[in-house]
Amino acid sequence: MHDKYEATIVNPNVANLITSLRDIGYNFEIAIADILDNSISADARNIEIFATSYPEHKVFILDDGIGMDEQELVEAMRLATQHPLIERTEKDLGRFGLGLKTASFSQCKKLTVASKKSNQLNLRQWDLDFISKNNQWLLLTPNSSYFENSPAFDLLSKSESGTLVVWEELDRIGGYEFSTLIDRLRSHLSLVFHRFMEISGNKKLKISINNHPLEAFNPFNISHQATQQINEEKIKVFDEFITIQPYILPHHSKISQNEFERYATEDGYTKSQGFYLYRGNRLLIYGTWWGLHKMSDAHKLVRIRIDISNTQDAYWGIDIKKSTAKPVGIIRDDLKRIIAQVTEKGSRPFTGRGKRIEDKTKKNFWLLKPNVDSISFVLDLEHPILQNILISLNEDVRQLLIIYLKGVQAYLPLDAIQAQLNQNPHSIKQDELVAENDIYKLVEIINGMNLDQDAISLLLKTEVFKMHKNLLGGKK
């Protein structure tokens, strides 16, 4: 009792508390990833996920880690089993001691864990309906017959050690097709745990879903020779080191359409730019600038990897789900500096190509016209082909054509062009609009004009003739 006040024990309403715990904000794939964190911390090298939808939805997550004895299992089933500030081993991917429970409760009403260690099998179960009915945290102990005809349980029974997590009564799937959830899960796990799956030797992690192995997806496309890897930088914050490695992905012109679409991810390049935060090789947050920089199409190829240890959570505001973070002020200052350096380089694949329109060795159809506070794309009315056309027309028709061309340049569909360049750059085949027969017809007309060599030299600089120089002057 307090020295100054009387104290009354007021236990929480368990049924209401359960509802609150279930609404922390996990989605299906983030919840599964949280379970896998425990498997990796338990030295698992193989994780098999089995998801069934008939006769009812169930999820089985089996690993070959060190397993738990009875006391360890009961403690693992406890909510907030460890203090979030306690020092953890380097490989521990948890923090709050809530992940197994909150992740599972967010998706299902019945969580069963079977674990084997030293050839002893132990089982425990949380049944949320049973808990609510009794208004107490009553942990159940099912017997092994509970898993009759369960292939995943049979595999665990035959193993020396490991843990099986089972979700039943999945009531939070919503309107999604189960197959859609599994596809999203495959993509998410391939990304989040890619570095564990890329490790060579006997420490390599293997993950499968319904007997189909996952392939690691490295979001930085490091194997492509056109990927730019900027110099790594280490920042010291509060006696801890943060490693920052920027990348600039290849421009779409340097990769195939399939590769372009793959590295765009489901979110697209623009939304996938920014920081990728890893803790202990596990990807936590990605595709964010944390409000330090605006999303920009010009910087859509910039991705910056940040590596931190599991002792730095307080500096990053990492939440229970490990899906949101907010770096503290002293870190943000360094990140702003790095953003400025990398985005300037990251915009070059686009600005560099844009400057080609001013290439003096080539006579372009379009020009870049700078204004006081804006720029415009305009047709080159001095283009030699156009000038030859205008000379042949009477004044009224000439003015009508010029007005038409000004309308073409004024209503250039920039938004539609930009959208297609972002979404389907490989589908744009603008140069194919001029057929080879069109070139031959143009050559016949020009050759019939008896132009002097200076005029022909000027025409050879035009874009339309850059691949057909041998056709002018009667040479075929």
Residue 6 lies in a domain: no
- Residue-level pLDDT at 362: 65
The answer to whether residues 272 and 314 belong to one domain is yes
The answer to the question of residue 245 being in a domain is yes
* pLDDT score recorded for residue 431: 66
* Averaged pLDDT, 188-217: 95
Per-residue model confidence (pLDDT) at position 385:
77
CA distances from residue 387 to 383, 391, 464, 465 in whole angstroms, order as listed: 6, 6, 15, 16
User: What pLDDT, on the 0 to 100 scale, is given for residue 6?
Assistant: 85
Residue 429 sits in the same domain as residue 310: no
Out of 131-140, 207-216, 427-436, least confident range: 427-436
User: Between 176 and 314, where is the model more confident?
Assistant: 314
Tokens of 291: 């409000």
For residues 157 and 291, state if they share a domain: no
d(CA 197, CA 194): 5
Q: Which tens digits make up the pLDDT trace of 46-75?
A: 999 999 988 889 999 999 999 999 999 999
Q: Give the residue from 319, 351, 383 where a domain finishes.
A: 351
Q: CA 304, CA 160: separation in Å to the nearest integer? A: 41
Q: How far apart are the first and last CA of the chain?
A: 104
CATH of the domain at 304: 3.30.230
Residues 171 and 242 both lie in one domain: no
Question: Residue 3 domain-assigned?
Answer: no
The pLDDT value recorded for residue 64 is 97
- pLDDT(268) > 50: yes
pLDDT tens-digit map of 326-367: 888 889 999 999 999 999 887 776 554 444 444 555 677 778
Residue 312 pLDDT > 80, yes or no?
yes
- Which CATH number fits the domain that encloses residue 202? 3.30.565.10
Domain stop point among 213, 241, 271: 213
Residue 475 has pLDDT above 50, yes or no: no
The closest of 64, 72, 76 to 155, measured between CA atoms, is 64
Do 185 and 234 lie in one domain? The reply is: no
DSSP secondary structure letters along 196-257: HHH--GGG--EEEETTEE-----TT-TTSTT-EEPPPEEEEETTEEEEEEEEEPPPGGGS-H
Is the pLDDT confidence value at 84 over 50?
A: no
- Give how many domains the chain has, as a whole number: 3
Are 347 and 374 within one domain? no
Q: Does 27 map to a domain?
A: yes
Which residue did the predictor score with more confidence, 163 or 83?
163
| pLDDT at residue 88 is higher than 50 | no
Please, what sign has the CA dihedral across residues 176, 181, 182, 187? positive
pLDDT at 39: 95
* CA contacts within 13 A on the Cβ side of 78: 10
> 5 lies in a domain?
no
Hey, what are 356's tokens? 């080609």
Instruction: Say yes or no: 238 and 178 in one domain.
Output: no
Residue 167: pLDDT over 70: yes
Q: How far are the Cα atoms of 97, 205, 312, 339, 377 from residue 88, in angstroms, in the given order?
A: 11, 21, 11, 32, 59
Mean local confidence (pLDDT), 31-44:
94
Q: Domain of 73?
A: 14-213
Q: Is the pLDDT of residue 460 over 70?
A: no
CB neighbourhood size of 22 (10 A)? 18
Provide the mean pLDDT of the chain: 84
